Amino acid sequence: MCTVGCLDGLNIHSNEFAFEGSVSTGHINRQMESPLDKAEKFKSIKSDVGSTGTLLSVYVGDSVGDLLCLLEADIGIVVGSSTTLRRVGKQFGVSFVPLFTGLVEKQRRIEKEESSIFKARSGILYTVSSWSEVQAFILGNDFS
């Protein structure tokens, strides 16, 4: 897992594409091979960041191999509609809620409770149909 970008304190980690010069070969340098590798690295990143302040962690995934990290994150975002991920998640009591609908409801509850209610391992995963929704969520704009 390597840092591929940073935007106003936003650290993004992922496997990376291999390049020859400035052109991608199409191969992926896999730093994370298994769901347990991902979960260990994500927990490590969270603990490193957690020591510097209180920040929300966000994990974006699309398959059952991402389930552990999605649930570990304060905000777990599922891209697409993996039936396997949804089936396994539901077996363990995970709820799947559309991202923007869910966030509006959370915001209403925060205003009433006056404290953050985003918590890791809440059992709620947010769903989006495309990366443009993730981009809109992160940047606060609609780029679809």
Q: What is the pLDDT of residue 96?
A: 94
Q: What is the pLDDT of residue 55?
A: 74
Residue 98 reports pLDDT greater than 60: yes
Q: What is the pTM of this model?
A: 0.72
DSSP-assigned letters across all residues of the chain? -EEEEEETTEEEEE-EEEEETTEEEEEEE-S--SHHHHHHHHHHHHHHHHTT-----EEEE-SGGGHHHHHHSSEEEEES--HHHHHHHHHTT-EEEEHHHHHHHHHHHHHHH-S----TT-SEEEEESSHHHHHHHHHSS---
pLDDT in tens, 33-87: 788 988 998 888 888 776 666 677 889 999 999 999 999 998 899 999 899 999 9
Question: How far apart, in whole angstroms, are the C-alpha atoms of residue 60 and residue 1?
Answer: 14
pLDDT in tens, 3-30: 444 455 566 666 667 788 888 787 777 7
